[in-house]
Structure 1
Amino acid sequence: MPDTAFNYYSSNVLNLDSDIKKVRKRIFVFYLARLILFLSVITFFVLYIKFKSNMLFLFFSFTCLALFLYCVKRNLDLAYHEQLLNHKLQVNKDELNFLDHRYHEHDRGDEYNYLNPHLAADFDIFGNGSLFQYLNRCSTRIGKDRFAQNLCASELNEDIIVKKQQAVMELSGKNELAQNFQAYGKFITENGSELSNLQAWLNEEDEKLRLLQISAYIFPIICFTWIALVVFGSFSVNSIIVPIILNLSIIGLNRKRIGKAHSKLGSSAKTFEKYAKLIKLIEDDDFESSFLSELKHKLTNRDKKASQSLKVLFNLLNSFDIRLNIIASFFLNSLLLFDIHIYYRLAKWKKLHQNVVALWFSTLSEFDALISYAAYAFNNQDKVVYPKISDKEFTFQAVEIGHPLLHPTVRVNNTIHFLGTPSVLIVTGANMAGKSTFLRTLSVNLMLAMNGAPVCAKSFEFTPCDIMSSIKIQDSLSNNESYFYAELLRIRDIIDHVKANPRTLVVLDEILRGTNTKDKQLGSLGLLEKLISQNSVVIVATHDLVIGELENKYPDIVTNYCFEVELTNDQLIFDYKLKKGISQKLNASFLMKKMEIIN
């Protein structure tokens, strides 16, 4: 467990606990002050009524009322601050659990399995105990979406990878920013339709509202002029109904489009307000890395910050909600055409920002996703390294590489390297010796590397590439597919992909297990020779020792590695260390005897 990270979070927990207690004391003081002031307002007002000539009591009553309202506001501000501190406290407690690999109550990300089903299943990207569950610190739905998409996609652009590395490295040193971002993010409750509704509204064709704008100013002037004439006796009181009906008629004629806009945007106001606070955190910070600086620059439109523009939108939508109050809506619309004014200002806001809103939220989602990698980098700073991108044809060189999901106390690291194309690594070994975990270790760290994150190794050099795998194949009753046929379909997909995308790492685990031994050997050898002919890079784990003999035919292309098991005092001992050569030891029959399955 990294002492630096552990001490940092532990210290934060103690300090935040202390700060929360102080805030609660202040809240209690203001609560008492509110009670005393409220009673004072009533008391002084009663005394004013009893002693009508003494205006001093009325002055005291209004003074206490002003102080009461101030205390109410301070109470609300302190309550919000207490909630924010509680969020930060929870963030730090969560990180202490993450340090100890206790994270299984967090979001599993199951809904993202569709993004890349084979990759997700083969390398435990989503689900319980998954990479997503361990890494995810996203505060927004769009950030979580972006993070999941990035995990499932290979970034092949070397410049982008290097820029992201620099961004993650910088963010991992800005813990206060990251924790504030997550703490404010905990205020957000989303139904999932806010941004789609906003985008649908932005995509609507612009309306010609010039006449409506003129009406919004002229008719209220007519209405108030009419009221003035009634007051001065020029018009009868009953005639006031004329401008009121006129204004309400204008509202009625535009009711449909006003209602449509309100139904799309009204429920999203609070979410946009909270998004604006997250965006402001980005705007208010200074960044050195080019990637973060570019993200910050994208949050400006016509010299106006995105957070300010979203605050304007939030205020407009809050005002729009007044129409839900029937009495207030009647008076405001009959006198001022209030809904028309708000609708026109919304249309004006849309015209100014419709081409940049999607960019703002895309920027927010990218920043949100980077925080996840930054937290991982900070928490594991003594166990990870930022990888180097190779300028050679194909490179994978890792010293002491381990799986990030394994607790450091049980993690066993290995060193591996393979260069050039074609290249085939055959990994043999007994059951439970670590072959499948090794395949996942290489692939998961490669995914992290292509996202600009550090990897769990002492050193790591790689070539960005696609990853195609066949590990967890499932049959399908609904599609009338057997396990073997499903595996053949997957292998065909891999061959087609490699043909179209030569920079692909192919990862295979115990292929063709759905057929007899002889067919499996012939098919496996034939497949590997096919992939060699396509200039592929392949890692294959197998129990079939015959496959290892392919090294004799292709000594410059095929390399054998293995995981061995030792039998000591009638116990199987696994060291999970990668060794050169073909495995010589088996354990299946021994395990079956130990479990009394066979004699």
Structure 2
Amino acid sequence: MNSKDLHAFYTEREERFSLSLKDITSKINVVSNIRLTTAVLFLGCIYLALTKSTSFFYLLPVLLIAFVWMIFKHAQLFKQKVHLENLVAINARELKLLENQYEKIYSGAEFNDPTHPYAHDLDLFGEGSFFQAVNRCNTIQGKHKFAHGLKTPLQHKQAIIARQAAIKELSHRVDFRQHVAAAGNETEEERGDYDELLAWLKQQPFVYSKKGFKFLLVIIPAITTVAVAGAFFNPWVKTLAILLAIFQWGFLGIYIKRVNAFHESIGRKRGILEKYAHVLHFLQREKFESPVLTGLTNNAQQADQKLKHLANLVGSFNARSNALTSIFVNSILMYDLQYVYRLERWRSENENNLRRWLEAVSDIEVLNTWATYAFNHQQFVYADISENLALSAHELGHPLIEPTSCVTNNVQLGEGESILIITGANMAGKSTFLRTVGINIVIALNGAPVFATKFNCPLILLQTGMRTADSLKDHQSYFYAELNRLKSIVDQLRSKLPLLILLDEILKGTNSTDKQAGSIALVKQLIPHHCLAMIATHDLALGELEIEFPDHVKNFHFEPNIENDQLSFDYKLKRGIAEKMNATFLMKKMGIIPN
């Protein structure tokens, strides 16, 4: 499916959901009008029963039932409306991203880390980044898990193959993916909600754990309710009701600080719990074949009902925030302690499952993200994962460049030569090529398809050196920062773990003679180690290393075409050392130096 077909696909879905949204909105208006009419009729019947005939009292229960049903129906329709609004927004967002419009789309800049082995160099996070283009997670935990996967890809072949199977299967379930995404978009999360829920699980019970509390919470409210009813007929019973109410408040006073702290820890979580429950509702009813997805659906069984029940308990507990309600129900029903007891009982019964359910939500969001990426790039291929230290790719391109305009290249590294020296002029494509290799490695090790017609990828760690920056905060110069990056690479080489190294113009912070000597020494340092390397440079002297180490080093280049005083680039990787440079040509062309 090409870009034009995808545009038509998402446009059709957006229009279809918009029509459904319009229909639901009309139904909500009808129900609202009927509810208002029912309320007016109810008040009218009371007036007529008091002024005309008591027979109108018999209509009141019917009207009350109708009014309550209309409230319930309105709430149902409103939830459907919110879900449809999210579905419309999801497809509008896909259309926006197809046109490379990233405005107001979360960039994941918080995950960027210049000290990470490759994230900053490969533009994984921030404006115009891979994360911004690909992420479809809506929960905070889902976004964190997706970012973590980009920074630390899988390193086990079977795990990657299992992830590939899950992404392949899920990529064809467009309705499921979008319903999950719409559910995940229902409530805006606060930072810390997830951790606070897990912290709530660890709290020690102070009501449910006490013997006799269950009996007390039934008997005292029951006696008080009877006493309140009897107070209308006997003044002595009225005194008893008052004493019982005072007793309940006194008893609550013993625990009020702990009750308030308990409410603070769970009271604001109703919305996020309902959101998680809705996501799990779609997950637990779906049937899958891949082991990864069936494992998630098994984890989600009955989770939606359990979390919905917890959300309802939290919602009822929140009624204590209304002062008038709190005074009334705590005087008769020991309301606060009733709901602490019920919430602690829920926690006792489900604490071992809640973390697993929350993990299932973020896991399915990450898989949805990769599956949407796979669906939107159906011409991409899944990598063959090899345990040999060798990388090969045919027609490899950068996933953020439109396939119709992207120039692709072939790569072969590790079957013989382990180091590629890539020379070439400015703007010829060296840096983009290195980033293309790097980002596709990250994608492949996450189990997702890559921009290539064939891709064989080893289980390998990645280290880059392209955008080293100085740091005033750390009192670190550019050159020293670059040396630190190179040291981290050498340290990792000594650990004997397989490593792919991508370096762009190393030792830029020193003079040309020192730079050349240091660069040659570094390449020689790489040769005996268990690694693959691509080194882009303007320094043609590095090309002579192929003569000295023909079994390890090979030269490739990018270079411009200059014809009829015009500069152009074909961005194709070619064998050998570059012969054409363009700096002087461009300076003359721009009038910086004379012709």
- Distance in 2 (CA, whole Å) between partners of 1:28 and 1:220 is 41
Match of 2:305 in 1: 308
Distance 2:436 2:122 in 1: 9
Aligned residue number for residue 11 of structure 1? 12
- Give the aligned residue type for 1:321: N
Conserved 8 A contact 1:563-1:578: yes
Q: CA deviation at 1:327?
A: 2.2
SS in 1 for 2:473: coil
User: Residues 468-503 of structure 1, C-alpha deviation per residue, up to 9 Å, x if partnerless?
Assistant: 111101112232221111111110011001211421
1:40 maps to amino acid: L
Tell me how far 1:65 sits from its aligned partner: 4.7
- Change in Cα spacing, 1:211 to 1:24, as seen in structure 2 (3 Å) is closer
Q: 1:386 aligns with which of 375, 382, 404?
A: 382
Deviations 1:97-130 (A, max 9, x none): 2223333431110111149635221000101110
Q: Which runs of 5+ in 2 are unaligned?
A: none
- Counterpart of 1:93, as a letter, is A
Decide whether aligned partners of structure 1 residues 24 and 355 sit closer, same or farther in structure 2, where only a CA change above 3 A counts: closer
Q: Which residue of 2 is the match for residue 377 of structure 1? A: 374
Distance apart, 1:162 and its partner CA: 0.6
- TM-fit CA distance, 1:72: 4.0
Check the 8 A contact 1:126/1:132 in 2, yes or no. Answer: yes
3-state SS of the aligned residue for 2:120? Answer: helix
- Counterpart CA distance in 2 for 1:78 and 1:228 is 38
1:331 CA displacement: 2.5
TM-score, normalised to structure 2, is 0.94
| Structure 1 equivalent of residue 283 of structure 2 | 282
Q: Map residues 67-466 of structure 1 onto 2, 5 A cutoff.
A: 67-114=66-113, 117-207=116-206, 208-224=209-225, 233=234, 235=236, 237-300=238-301, 305-382=302-379, 384-391=380-387, 393-420=388-415, 423-466=418-461
How far 1:227 sits from its partner (Å)? 5.2
* Distance in 1 of aligned mates of 2:442 and 2:28: 48
Distance 2:171 2:509 in 1: 46
Report the Cα distance in structure 1 between the residues aligned to 2:332 and 2:114, rounded to whole angstroms. 54
Percent pairwise identity = 36
TM-score, normalising length: structure 1: 0.94
Q: CA deviation at 1:267?
A: 0.6
Displacement of 1:575 in angstroms is 0.4
Offset, 1:517: 1.1
For 1:578 and 1:15, the matched residues in 2 are separated by 46
Q: CA deviation at 1:351?
A: 1.7
SS of match in other structure, 1:298: helix
2:486 aligned residue (482, 491, 496): 491
Contact 2:496 2:529 in 1 (8 A): no
Say yes or no: does 1:575 pair with 2:570: yes
Inter-CA distance 71–330: structure 2 relative to 1 (3 Å threshold): closer
Q: 1:310 to 1:102 in 2, by over 3 A?
A: same
1:556 is matched with 551
CA-CA distance at 1:248 after TM superposition: 1.2
Would the aligned equivalents of 2:392 and 2:457 in 1 still touch at CA under 8 Å? yes
The letter of the residue matching 1:238 is T
Does the residue aligned with 1:561 lie in a helix, a strand or coil?
strand
Deviation at 1:560, TM superposition (A): 1.0
Q: Distance in 2 between matches of 1:345 and 1:32?
A: 37
Structure 1 unaligned runs (5+)? Answer: none
Deviations for 1:187-240, whole angstroms, at most 9, x for unmatched residues? 121111222112112122355322433332343344356557767759453343
Distance of 1:476 and 1:137 partners within structure 2? 33
Deviations 1:343-394 (A, max 9, x none): 1122222222222322221221111111111111101102x11111124x21
Q: Tell me which residue corresponds to 2:27.
A: 26
Mapped contact 2:393–2:411 kept (Cα < 8 A): yes
Q: Secondary structure at the match of 1:577?
A: coil
Rounded to whole Å, the distance in 2 between the matches of 1:247 and 1:542 is: 80
Q: Does the alignment pair 1:531 with 2:526?
A: yes
On the 8 A contact 2:285/2:297 being kept in 1, the answer is no
Of residues 4-13 and 471-480 in structure 1, the stretch that sits farther from structure 2 once superposed is 4-13
* 309-318 or 202-211, larger mean C-alpha shift: 202-211
Q: For 1:512, which of 507, 512, 522 is the aligned residue?
A: 507
Instruction: Indicate how the Cα distance of structure 1 residues 62 and 47 shifts in structure 2: closer, same or farther if over 3 A, else same.
Output: same
Equivalent position SS for 1:576: coil
Q: CA deviation at 1:93?
A: 1.6
Match of 1:48 in 2: 49
Separation (CA, whole Å) in 1 of partners of 2:568 and 2:53: 97
Distance 1:369 1:145 in 2: 10
Decide whether aligned partners of structure 1 residues 10 and 353 sit closer, same or farther in structure 2, where only a CA change above 3 A counts. same
> Judging changes above 3 Å, is the alpha-carbon distance between structure 1 residues 146 and 501 closer, same or farther for their aligned structure 2 residues?
farther
Whichever residue aligns with residue 352 of structure 1, its letter is: E
Equivalent residue of 1:375, what SS? helix
Corresponding letter in the other structure for 1:534: H
The letter for the 1-side match of 2:339 is: I
Distance, in Å, in 1 between the alignment partners of 2:235 and 2:58 is: 39
Tell me the distance in 2 between the aligned counterparts of 1:79 and 1:556. Answer: 69
**Aligned equivalents of 2:78 and 2:30: distance in 1?**
13
SS at match of 2:411: strand
| Aligned residue-pair number | 591
For residues 230 and 42 of structure 1, do their structure 2 counterparts lie closer, same or farther at Cα, with a shift above 3 Å needed? closer
1:291 Cα deviation after fit: 0.7
> Contact conserved, 2:135 with 2:143, CA < 8 A, in 1?
yes
Which of 583, 588, 593 does residue 588 from structure 1 map onto? 583
Judge conservation of contact 1:100–1:407 (CA < 8 Å) in 2.
no
Shift in CA distance, 24/406, structure 1 to aligned 2, threshold 3 Å: same
Q: How far apart, CA to CA, are the structure 2 residues paired with 1:228 and 1:39?
A: 30
Root-mean-square deviation (CA, aligned residues, Å) is 2.1
Structure 2 counterpart of 1:565: 560
CA distance in 2, matches of 1:353, 1:563: 60
SS of equivalent to 1:428: strand
Report how far residue 427 of structure 1 moved.
0.8
